[in-house]
Amino acid sequence: MTTPSEAPLDTAEFIRILDREGRLLADAAEQAGTDAKVPTCPEWRVRDLVRHTGAVHRWAAAYVAEGHASRRPLADPPGLDGAELLTWFREGHAKLVRALTSAAPDMECWHFLPAPSPLAFWARRQAHETSVHRYDAEAARGGTPSELSPAFAADGVDELLRGFHARSRSRVRSEEPRVLRVRASDVDDAVWTVRLTQEPPAAERGASGDAECEISGPAAQLYLSLWNRVPFPAASGDHSLAELWRTNSAV
């Protein structure tokens, strides 16, 4: 059964999801312990995950709260660990939620993907940033991960395909033109056509023309698989195209 297409999630909903996901991340990190390995990011321990996400939260909050008009470097996180690190993370996460909640809808600041407004961008981006890393923390803890709504997961697929990989830094390229389809099985109209060339991937909503390979499955699994956290739910057609995506799509 599919979820009917709905209006895009609004900024308030993204902030609510960010609030929830950050709390879940901190709880999972606390339960796992900061020295635990993160299986979805093999080079990281939980402390690295918490430091990274906490630094990103403070970086994002500064744009929203202070209105910086140009890109600023991500500050190095402090060398905290254990309970002190988790307290630092929770404080920064709460600061970000407050900044987004209290910001004026017409506030202006730097942002790096197309969006209806800077506020809409940062709420959406940080909700997805935190959601993916919450999954990482829960993978380190073990047990059943928290669920994502199909609508939110489908939005994350859209942000990744039409936002991140539209940028020049995307490494998913092909010497010969190729066409990949991505389809969520549980959200109506959640299908994307991705054209691969020697330029950055060009993704559009809808099933436009023939595709050599289709990656499909529930939106939440697609979301995590396209962020290289889990295997693709299903792939049909030319599997080498799915592998090309998997091998080169790290953001």
Instruction: State the pLDDT at residue 2.
Output: 57
Instruction: State the pLDDT at residue 250.
Output: 86
DSSP class per residue in 99-118? HHHHS-TT-----SS--SSH
Instruction: State the pLDDT at residue 5.
Output: 43
Sign of the Cα pseudo-torsion (133, 135, 138, 142, in order): negative
Query: From start to end of the chain, where are the E strands?
Result: 178-184, 191-196, 202-205, 213-217, 234-237
Instruction: State the pLDDT at residue 251.
Output: 76
Instruction: State the pLDDT at residue 16.
Output: 98
Question: Residue 206's beta-bridge partner residues?
Answer: none
Instruction: State the pLDDT at residue 6.
Output: 44
pLDDT in tens, the chain (251 residues): 555 444 469 999 999 999 999 999 999 999 999 999 999 999 999 999 999 999 999 999 999 999 999 999 999 999 999 999 999 999 999 999 999 999 999 999 999 999 999 999 999 999 999 999 999 999 999 999 999 999 999 999 999 999 999 999 999 999 999 999 999 999 999 999 999 999 999 999 999 899 999 999 999 999 999 999 999 999 999 999 999 999 999 87
- Euclidean distance between CA atoms 28 and 21, whole angstroms: 10
